[in-house]
Amino acid sequence: MDAIAVSPPLAGAPAAGEAPARDRLIEAASRLFCRYGINAVGVDTVVAEAGTAKATLYKAFGSKEKLVEAVLEREGRQWRDWFLAGLDAGEGGAVERLRRIFPLLEEWFAQDRFYGCPFINAIGEHDKAEDRLRAITIAHKKAVLGRMESLASEAGAPDPTRLAHQLGLLMDGAIVVAMISRDPGAARLAAEAADSLFASLEQGR
């Protein structure tokens, strides 16, 4: 397998004044929400962490709920940029790129700042009938699944959509297990479970 020269996404911690107030608020909220949970963190804590005034937060976002949405959209964009670049890093055919899924996840899980998937966590904390967070989450998942489906099709899978969703389920399961156990090895277990899926693709070449 080709070496992956891509680092996992890291939410930086710029000092006050180094970035626009809106960006500092998103950075601070991302760190706090991911570690402690959205409902456990109030706007006073976010503005103190960001070095801004509460009025600045409301001027930029209008509400805590809109700040949450902005955090999820940014987290999703950064994670997808990292993950999809990792799949395509180096040489290799479609199956080789699909096999990179779980080593990439293990890299992510090994970070000190890995607290699970922000989308899964957010949905878990909120009203399950709340549509806006669900829509943001589904859009994120569709983008990831779409790329895996494209690779599955390129690899000759008879049902690329089904294979992408099977891999997506293994990914989500590994993320939840790694979050609970703090064991990056959950990614290797998921990779073992995916081996039969990948083997069937390789046999069909």
pLDDT in tens, 49-104: 999 999 999 999 999 999 999 999 999 999 999 999 999 998 899 999 999 999 99
SS3 130: coil
In the predicted model, what is the mean pLDDT of residues 23-32?
A: 97
The confidence score (pLDDT) of residue 5 equals 36
Alpha-carbon distance of 34 to 46, in angstroms, equals: 12
The dotted CATH code for 13-62 is 1.10.10.60
Domain range list for the chain? 13-62, 64-203
Does residue 8 surpass a pLDDT of 80? no
Number of helices (H) and strands (E), helices first, in the chain?
A: 10, 0
Alpha-carbon distance of 159 to 177, in angstroms, equals: 28
The confidence score (pLDDT) of residue 1 equals 34
The confidence score (pLDDT) of residue 128 equals 85
The confidence score (pLDDT) of residue 15 equals 45
Of the listed ranges 5-19, 36-50, 60-74, the least confidently predicted one is: 5-19
Alpha-carbon distance of 54 to 168, in angstroms, equals: 39
Is the Cβ–Cβ distance between 97 and 88 less than 8 Å? Answer: yes
Does residue 24 surpass a pLDDT of 90? yes
Fold classified for 64-203: Tetracycline Repressor; domain 2 (1.10.357)
Does residue 35 surpass a pLDDT of 90? yes
Does residue 31 surpass a pLDDT of 70? yes
The confidence score (pLDDT) of residue 7 equals 46
